[in-house]
Chains A and B, each alone.
Chain A
Amino acid sequence: MASARLKVPKKAKKGDIITVKSLIKHKMETGQRKGKDGKPIPRMIIKNVTATYNGAEVFSADWAPAVSANPFLSFKVRATESGTIELKWTDDNGKVVSQSAKITVQ
């Protein structure tokens, strides 16, 4: 099921700064809320998101409970060569969702 979106420009000139945009479906439960029964709801957030460009890490972030549900993330990277940009989101359960997109660099 499509639970994440990733957008990378299809084409770029070598050396261009490009914008990568992404969205992922995740409840990002902070661990600070209480359920109807008064018990705390366990924390369940995406703890890390990492981007690779042809396998090399270009971006990584550790997220905290303050990040909203279904978070949007955007960052910039320099277009160096044609290939694949991949994002991987890892949550507290260790579940990994990945999404990749191709870019042609001229």
Chain B
Amino acid sequence: MKIRQLLLALTGTIAVAGLGLGFVVSQTTSAKAEGIRSGYTYATKETQGLQDDEMSNPGYLWVDTGEDLWSKAEGDAGKSCNDCHGDAADSMKKAGVSYPKYKDDIGKMQNIEQRINQCRTDNMKAKAWKWESNQLLSMTTYVRNQSTGMPVSVAVDGPAKPFFEKGKAFFNQRRGLLDMACKHCHEDNAGNLIRANVLSQGQINGFPVYRLKWGKVGSSHRRFRGCNKQVRAKPFKNGSDEYVNLELYVAWRGRGLPVETPAVRN
């Protein structure tokens, strides 16, 4: 048997083994027929409970930090986000549902983290925040929290189309030593057990999410990296074109799902 992989698609069980690393997926549901579902619906009652209450959801600690940063003037222009945008509850209400967006000036897609950093560099004359830094995570969580409850709706036609197609190809492309695509876990096996975890559809409506395993909030790109590494594939950089295009496709897969930022996941 090849080291690379062993994929047995039996009616009852799927077993994938590779390089001393074994995934056993036990099939209990017919996944594809489930419709679009948030990761929330696959989480345990305890995890859902943590998310539901703003006082028990640790992600709100990042929302609070983002709120503080919102009114803090920084950079050579001496401006804060608040100076230009005013109350985030109004000005940022729609921002959380529509990114990644096609941007004419750069000729490609831009996600919300990058949009925030563009405001830092161009409008505030301040340094861009580092990816996964406390500041960028807090601000992204704060901005996206303003859209909580609103349906995800990204534009994938017109100039966004070629980038959408790239993201879709990435999602369906086998990779890594285990030779698996996102789709093998999150489309074909959503609802089934992988080791001790229930596989979800891999939706990003709750991002940045508070992950119990991380003990903090993390971006969708951090999650993509983790999922790439899981199949022993080389992860791309946070903020890379590859991941922004993938993010567009994944956001579209979850179209209509309510924004849950900050969601809680294990």
Contact = CB atoms under 8 A, between A and B. Distances in A.
Interface of A: 1-5, 7, 21-25, 27-28, 68-70, 72, 74
A7 B53 CA distance: 11
Residue in B50, B57, B65, B215 with the greatest tally of chain A CB atoms within 10 Å: B215
B67 interface: yes
Contacts of B68: 1-2
A23 B61 contact: yes
Nearest to B212: A68
A1 B216 contact: no
Residues of B contacting A: mostly? mixed
A72 B53 CA distance: 11
B215 A23 contact: no
Interface residues of B, number: 16
A69 B216 contact: yes
Contacts of B64: 2-3, 5
A25 B61 contact: yes
A5 to B, nearest CB: 6
Given A2-B68, A5-B64, A72 B216 contact: no
Given A2-B68, A27-B215, A21 B56 contact: yes
A74 B65 CA distance: 22
B170 to A, nearest CB: 29
Contact of B55 (A2, A3, A23): A23
Contact of A23 (B58, B212, B216): B58
B252 interface: no
B202 to A, nearest CB: 24
B61 A7 contact: no
B164 interface: no
B61 A3 contact: yes
A70 to B, nearest CB: 4
A44 B218 CA distance: 22
B50 A70 contact: no
B102 interface: no
A70 B216 contact: yes
B67 to A, nearest CB: 7
A23 B65 contact: no
Contacts of A74: 55-56
B60 interface: yes
B60 A23 contact: yes
Given A1-B68, A2-B67, A2-B68, A72 B56 contact: yes
